[in-house]
Amino acid sequence: MTLDTVKHAAETPDVKLPWAELGLKEDEYERVREILGRRPTGAELAMYSVMWSEHCSYKSSKVHLRQFGEKVPENDAMLVGIGENAGVVDVGQGYAVTFKVESHNHPSYVEPYQGAATGVGGIVRDIIAMGARPVAVVDPLRMGDAHHPDTKRVLPGVVAGIGGYGNCLGLPNIGGELVFDACYQGNPLVNAGAIGVMRHEDIHLAKASGPGNKVILYGARTGGDGIGGASILASETFDDTKPSKRPAVQVGDPFQEKLLIECTLEAFAEKLVVGIQDLGAAGLSCATSELASNGSGGMRVELDDVPLRDSTLTPEEILMSESQERMCAVVEPGKVERFLEICEKWDVIATVVGEVTDGDRLEIFWHGEKIVDVDPRTVAHDGPVYERPYARPSWQDALQADDANNLARPANADELRAQVLKLVSAPNQAAKSWVTDQYDRFVQGNTVLAQPEDSGMIRINEETGLGVAIATDGNGRYAKLDPYAGAQLALAESYRNVAASGAKPLAISDCLNFGSPEDPDVMWQFAEAIRGLADGCLELGTPVTGGNVSLYNQTGEAAIHPTPVVAVLGVIDDVARRTPIAFKEEGQLLYLLGETREEFGGSAWSQVIHDHLGGLPPKVDLGREKLLGDILISASRDGMIDAAHDLSDGGLVQAVAESCLRGGRGARLVVPDGLDTFTFLFSESAGRAVVAVPRSEELRFTDMCGARGLPATRIGVVDGDAIELQGEFTLPLSELREAHEGTIPGLFA
Amino acid sequence: MTARIGVVTFPGTLDDRDTQRAVRVAGAEAVPLWHKDKDLKQVDAVVLPGGFSYGDYLRAGAISRFSPVMESVIEQAKAGMPVLGICNGFQVLTETHLLPGAMLRNNHLHFICREQKLRVESDRTAWTADYTAGQEISIPLKNIDGQYTADERTLDMLEAEGRVAFRYLDTNPNGSLRDIAGITNEAGNVVGLMPHPEHAVEPLVGTGRTDGLGFFTSVLKKLVNA
């Protein structure tokens, strides 16, 4: 076969290329021809097809995502915003924090262990590419029905993959979620988040500037794994008739990644790096075109110099390969030798594969022949943009009219007690320690809080006690009922979780998981969710620093629930002031903060007891969330509360059960005036938290709430070894623990 | 005066910086040691920290055991220098035969991370003098290859010579024979265990307990008083 060079392509305009197999649509292929003024070479086609895939180009979501840039709250904490590998936030004392959440949904369904493992690897490389030392990871997961046999294949593999990779990297896993719902059966969501810390002056960007500077590829050798993963796996709905896609999932090597982290940070410390980019989706195609287009534009790459694991790879395959644990750095000629020395110290293979050039073309050579000659911006940034049609689904009204508030409620105290037990032992509300105990939460020695706490918290300065907190949340059931409100509820819950731990929320990242953008119903959900999230961030003053969109989470006609997952990052001046969830001290007073209404649409109770989804989600009041957050932070700083737990799915009874079990203490509860027992226990009204107040602080605390207009209702006291609801029922902690902690191991161990 | 305690970094070591911190919290000077360097930099004691050296792709500790720094560590350990191996470090020590036995995959086949209760069985080692025999402590445990195994004769010998240094209490987290969590050599200067004392030295982080600090204060006192 003759090499398809640029010259050859110009001479043979009629050669048919497999653009459809590579995932391009006909008009997209025509557009490539138009841009180049000729047909693309095979290598160019490979680059355009991966970079213009949904996963890399955000072609369906871009028009909506713009709102994150337009509705920007006043917030001087943002140092680097959307568009870079990850956003960067100022957390004070000269420190900057970078964080991001990404999806690895499709690969994790095909091959759970490697899919999830490489998801961790990818997000961590995004963090190191910013110049930061990764300090923690979190993993929000959504799985199919807990009782479905395929969930037993996917979940244990995903958990082992996250653990196998993350544990070997030495990153504490401090948070995340695990939610089961039949809607995720064929499309589990495996989102991965990471946080990194650096000094302000150490921020690095993906930019190749300075003609003559060398382009160094370092890390693992390039192999045949993951070829076309970005374009095929992430951009099309699964279809049983196609051949297995297993070979398209990459294989991870966490040991190599650990070396990559240390070697990269050492090179940063010696100021050897002008620009840097990790190789993730779309591999070298992405790294070279993004580095070049973010710089002055010109770059020349010798593809023959790329170290290969498999010498039979074609140039197209080398460009598309998604082999893991690779990075690309731009280094001044005088510093190349030192850079290579550091790589050698860490036994990391590093090769100069090209250089930055004067022009504005990205030129790639193979065996001395030019096989790519493109304007890198057309590859990296000028991909197609779609205004996908969207419309409110015809079924939305009927869904909302099916009011959960009309469902049959427990008739007596015995039923109430039975339903409490059923709720806390349901897979979604049950303890997740079988999962989280497979993750190292202690490594690095700075973990202040980890799951099942409201947020994960990491100390970043030993002397001052400065720390950061992160929480991730997203309730697909709420979002299905009302995507605008659902996205805001995800934001509100995550915000509340961070504040409940005592940290001040600063900024967010998101992972937006939806079905097919070609379905107007799904596109409407997406548009509404973005609008809700952007409006919400504006109101809460927490800018979006970046994130990820995962579309095509759909099997046949059935899309997943719209699932925007929001990660809120917060800062705490002194981690000694953090607030845990555990009720530990006998006699402390329990206060319910916020207002409780009859809100059961999308609730855990409606799911567990009635297998029902309908009505409206809880009302959103972001002003109230902000006030609640301020009170929780002040109370933590001034030592007025010893424990706090946000109220979300499962309502008050779920929160109290978790706090009691965590602290090994019971609680005596009294239903406050004006509320019925059922609503008191199970309502999921937003903007609420339960706190434990030492008696000596009661007056000061209630005065503060009163002065600032936050309803604070005394609902009981920490006492004994049971949850006792006065006049209704008593639940010994031992019985509660067995119910709450036995479910997940019973299903998956 | 204080003591210099070396902390070795192998490729894939994860708990080196935590261990250095624990050494500092105890009041000693932490000296980073590099696997490719035979020079122990005049340290008075050495810790081999946890992690996944060389990815544990072969057998945990099997490759690190041959690194240049280990030649010096083995030599010095035989001459009486205090050496502590934590988790992956313990695995390296068994590979060098400074300590008997070996570690298998956990009996439940999963990685496990938990707060683990231990009984300190011996306070006659360089690393446990600040505890009293029989004392119960709780420190983090996190591993996938943590099932201690040895032949019956070796186990009987360890018991008879009082060389079982730590035993798991309440639950045996990985199927280790005779609930063994850590052992010592005959002289008491070389100690290895699977749980992580370096993660339990400050009240705010990790488990929020400081039960692991005694390892580092024990050796510091011994060195300073020597």
Q: Where are the domains of chain B?
A: 4-225
Per the CB < 8 Å rule, is A253 touching B55?
yes
A5 alpha-carbon distance from chain centroid: 40
Please name the residue that has the structure tokens 């079905």.
A515
Q: What is the helix (H) or strand (E) element at residue B113, kind and residue range?
A: strand B112-120
Tell me the pLDDT band of A247, cut-offs 50, 70 and 90. Answer: low
Nearest residue of chain B to residue A444 (CA atoms): B18
Q: What is the pLDDT of residues A104-158, one digit of tens each?
A: 999 899 999 999 999 999 999 999 998 899 999 999 999 999 999 999 999 999 9
CB–CB contacts below 8 A, A to B? 88
Neighboring chain B residues of A164 at a CB cutoff of 8 Å = 111
Contact state of B22 with A169 under an 8 Å Cβ cutoff: no
| Cβ(A620)–Cβ(A683) below 8 Å | no
Angular region, A379: left φ>0, alpha ψ -120 to 50, beta rest: alpha
Q: Do the chains contact at A258 and B111, CB–CB below 8 Å?
A: no
User: Would you call B25 an interface residue with chain A, using a CB distance cutoff of 8 Å?
Assistant: no
A417: enclosing H helix or E strand: helix A413-425
Distance CA A116, CA A230 (A): 15
Is B142 in CB contact (< 8 Å) with chain A? Answer: yes
Specify the pTM.
Answer: 0.94
Cα–Cα distance for residue pair A586/A573, rounded to 1 Å: 29
How large is the average pLDDT for residues B196-202?
A: 97
What pLDDT is recorded for position A55? 84
HSE (side-chain half, CA atoms, 13 Å) at A592: 27
Q: Which amino acid is at A272?
A: L
A446 touches chain B (CB under 8 A): yes
Contact A95, A195 (CB under 8 A): no
Query: Which of A2-11, A422-431, B18-27, B214-223 has the least mean pLDDT?
Result: A2-11
Pairing assessment for the beta strands A173-180 and A298-302 based on DSSP bridges: unpaired
Q: Which of A137, A442, A457, A579 to mutate to test the interface with B (most CBs of B within 10 A)?
A: A442
More confident site: A214 or A87: A214
Q: Does the CB of A459 have a partner CB in chain B at under 8 Å?
A: yes
**Confidence tier at A228 by pLDDT (50, 70, 90):** low
pLDDT > 50? residue A233: no
Q: Which of A616, A596, A629 is nearest to A485 (CA)?
A: A616
Identify whether A452 is preceded by a cis peptide bond (ω within 30 of 0): yes
Q: What is the DSSP letter of A305?
A: G
In this prediction, residues A284-301 reach a mean pLDDT of 90
Of B81, B85, B109, the C-alpha closest to B95 is: B85
> What average pLDDT score do residues B4-19 get?
96
How far apart are the CA of B190 and the nearest CA of chain A, in angstroms?
A: 24
Q: How far apart are CA A437 and CA A458, in angstroms?
A: 18
pLDDT of residue A202: 84
The span from the CA of A175 to the CA of A98, in Å, is: 16
Could you report the predicted ipTM of this complex, rounded to two decimals? 0.95
Smallest CA–CA distance, residue B25 to chain A, in Å, is 11
Least confident of A537-541, A705-709, B90-94, B221-225: B221-225
The identity of residue B88, as a single letter, is N
- pLDDT tens readout for residues A738-748: 999 999 999 99
Distance CA A356, CA A122 (A): 25
Residue type, A294: N
Question: Among the residues of B161-212, which ranges form H helices?
Answer: none
| CB atoms B113 and A170 under 8 Å | no
Contact: B22, A445; criterion CB under 8 Å? yes
Residue A472: closest CA among A27, A101, A159, A25: A101
Identity of the amino acid at A312: T
B54 to chain A, any CB pair closer than 8 A? The answer is yes
The average pLDDT across A727-742 equals 97
Q: Which chain A residue is nearest to residue B204, measuring alpha carbons?
A: A448
CB A715 within 8 Å of CB A672: yes
Six-digit token string for B120: 């300190």
Are the beta carbons of A437 and B114 separated by less than 8 Å? Answer: yes
Range of weakest confidence among A44-53, A412-421, A485-494, A618-627: A44-53
Beta strands in B144-211 (DSSP E): 147-149, 164-168, 180-184, 190-193
Bridge partners (DSSP) of residue B30 are B5
Nearest to A442 among B17, B56, B140 (CB): B140
By the CB < 8 Å criterion, does B11 face chain A? yes
Whole-number pLDDT of residue A248? 62
User: What angle (nearest 5°) sits at the alpha carbon of residue B174, between those of residues B172 and B176?
Assistant: 75
Q: What is chain A's alpha carbon radius of gyration, rounded to the nearest angstrom?
A: 26
Q: How many helices (H) and strands (E) does chain A have?
A: 25, 28
Helix axes A651-663, A413-425, angle to 10 degrees: 70
Classify A264 in phi/psi space as left (phi over 0), alpha (psi -120 to 50) or beta. Answer: alpha
Q: Do A167 and B21 touch (CB under 8 A)?
A: no
Task: Give the three-class secondary structure for B119.
Answer: strand
Phi, psi for A272 (deg, rounded to 5): -95, -5
Of the partner residues B51, B57, B207, the one whose CB lies closest to the CB of residue A170: B51
Q: What is the pLDDT of residues A177-217, one digit of tens each?
A: 999 999 999 999 999 999 999 999 888 777 778 899 999 99
Q: For chain B, where are the alpha helices, taking DSSP H only?
A: 16-26, 68-78, 88-96, 152-160, 213-225
Joined together, the tokens standing for residue A215 give 């382009």
Residue A510, SS3? Answer: strand
A441: nearest CA partner in chain B:
B113
Sign of CA dihedral A497, A498, A499, A502: positive
Residue A731 corresponds to which tokens in the numbers above?
A: 């639940």
Please indicate whether residue B198 is annotated as part of the active site.
Answer: yes
pLDDT tens for residues A326-361? 999 999 999 999 999 999 999 999 999 999 999 999
Cα–Cα distance, B15 to A345 (Å, whole number):
19
Give yes or no for B14 touching A (CB within 8 A): yes
Which is catalytic among the residues B35, B87, B95, B121? B87
Alpha-carbon gap: B3 to the closest alpha carbon of chain A (Å): 22
The Cα A384–Cα A386 span in angstroms is: 6
d(CA A126, CA A84): 9
| Torsion angles phi and psi, residue A19, rounded to 5 | -65, -35
Which pairing describes strands A133-143 and A87-92: parallel, antiparallel, or unpaired?
A: unpaired
Using an 8 Å CB-CB cutoff, list chain A residues near B56: 168
Using the beta-carbon criterion (under 8 Å), do B111 and A575 form an inter-chain contact? no
B226 shares contact with chain A (CB less than 8 Å): no
What distance in Å separates residue A170's CA from the closest CA in chain B?
5
Quick: pLDDT tens for A371-392: 999 999 999 988 899 999 999 9
Average pLDDT of the residues in A287-308: 92
Chain B residues near residue A253 by CB distance under 8 angstroms? 55
> Topology of B4-225 in CATH?
Rossmann fold (3.40.50)
> Distance, in angstroms, between A450 CA and closest chain B CA?
9
Asked about A200 being catalytic, the answer comes back as no
Q: How confident is the model at residue A282 (pLDDT cuts 50, 70, 90)?
A: confident
DSSP A310-357: STT--HHHHHH---SSEEEEEE-GGGHHHHHHHHHHTT--EEEEEEEE
SS3 A204: coil
The alpha carbon of residue B182 is apart from the nearest alpha carbon of chain A, in Å, by: 20
Distance from CA of A96 to the nearest CA of B (A): 21
pLDDT at residue A241 is higher than 60: no
Task: Spell out which residues of chain B touch residue A580, defining contact as CB-CB under 8 Å.
Answer: none
Distance (Å, rounded) from C-alpha B218 to C-alpha B192?
15
A709 touches chain B (CB under 8 A): no
In chain A, residues with a C-beta closer than 8 Å to the C-beta of B196 are: 442
Identify the residue among B10, B37, B54, B205 best suited for mutation to test binding to A, counting A beta carbons within 10 A and taking the highest.
B205
> What is the side-by-side order of every strand in the sheet holding A350-357?
A275-278, A326-331, A214-219, A350-357, A298-302, A362-366, A369-374
Amino acid A209: pLDDT: 80
